[in-house]
Amino acid sequence: MIPASFNYNRPESVGEALKMLSDDGAQALAGGHSLLPAIKLRLNEPDSLVDISRIAELRFIKRDRGTLTIGASTTHHEVANSADVKGAISMLAEGADHIGDPAVRNKGTLGGSLAHADPAADWPAMMLAVNADVVIANPKGSRKVAAGDFFQGFYMTALEEGELITEVEIPVPAGEYRSAYAKFEQPASRFAIVGCAVMADVSGGTFSDVRVAFTGVADAAFRDAGVEAALEGAPANAESIAAAAEKAAAGVDFMEDHYASAPYRGHLAKVYAKRALMALL
């Protein structure tokens, strides 16, 4: 548990951080809740850490007309307690409040969680369900990647070497949209063994623009097109939900570990799809 030696740098701006990250062997450090354990176990041996946690321009929450923007270094605790987030899409605040324990929520960041892309992390499913765009800075400028294209596999994302997530843009739709997140959590860490984030327009008592996203189920978070299609245009009631939830995670290659077998994860996907969708009613 003793890390190899590394240099520690604390830039004051995104520009300065990007310059430091262009050095070979440099890696961003945010809350450190995923990176530091990996360094202590020598699973990761960066030559230098670029501590982005105190860059003010990365730590904010802004609601502007139809968009909620959250800076990458904003902590889970800050999201959980933001009136702007609660007023825009309440699921995000509730989900953030169920990540880990107070120490994790006070140090861990939204950007760090997305970049790390743990297959059991809560944020990826929520970002997929809200149709978020991940804004990424690099020495040439910046680019936006839809959440659906960002998570690419087991701890794999669209981030390239030396790039930094700066913020996440979340459309806040008009109309009668509701959202919910339900998870079966590992009791010690609270990581999701299965987590399901849902968002839909329920105006007129009918489901439309249904988004259903899972984490914990497979090697990366994903949207469930089968459940979404089953609910599109269906009456917003318990019968439609029960029928649609039965289709959850069809054809998915389930993760299997010491917490849950593949068949058990498949069962939990149906149960938690139903619970999350029922919370919309």
Ligand X SMILES: Cc1cc2nc3c(=O)[nH]c(=O)nc-3n(C[C@H](O)[C@H](O)[C@H](O)COP(=O)(O)OP(=O)(O)OC[C@H]3O[C@@H](n4cnc5c(N)ncnc54)[C@H](O)[C@@H]3O)c2cc1C
- Judged by the rule CB under 6 A, the positions of this chain that interact with ligand X are 27-35, 52, 72, 99-100, 104, 108-109, 111-113, 115-116, 118, 121-123, 159, 164-165, 189-191
User: Distance between alpha carbon 105 and the CA centroid of its chain, in Å?
Assistant: 14
CB of residue 201 vs ligand X: minimum separation in angstroms? 27
| CB distance 190 to 101 below 8 Å | yes
Which of 165, 241 has the CB closer to ligand X?
A: 165
The position carrying tokens 């008592």 is: 205
Which of 65, 140 has the CB closer to ligand X?
A: 140
CB of residue 166 vs ligand X: minimum separation in angstroms? 7
Alpha-carbon Rg for the chain in angstroms = 19
Q: Measured between alpha carbons, how far is 41 from 38 in angstroms, rounded to an integer? A: 5
CB of residue 107 vs ligand X: minimum separation in angstroms? 6
Which of 45, 176 has the CB closer to ligand X?
A: 45
Which of 79, 165 has the CB closer to ligand X?
A: 165
The separation between the first and the last C-alpha atoms of the chain, rounded to the nearest angstrom, is: 48
CB of residue 103 vs ligand X: minimum separation in angstroms? 8
Residue 101 identity:
D
CB of residue 209 vs ligand X: minimum separation in angstroms? 25
CB of residue 88 vs ligand X: minimum separation in angstroms? 20
Q: What does DSSP assign to residue 83?
A: H
| DSSP E strand stretches across the chain | 7-9, 26-29, 48-51, 61-64, 67-71, 133-138, 141-146, 151-153, 156-157, 164-171, 177-185, 192-201, 208-215, 222-223
* Rounded alpha-carbon distances, angstroms, from residue 163 to 15, 253, 255, 272: 11, 30, 29, 35
Helix (H, G, I), strand (E, B) or coil at 252: coil
Which of 11, 108 has the CB closer to ligand X?
A: 108
Which of 223, 226 has the CB closer to ligand X?
A: 223
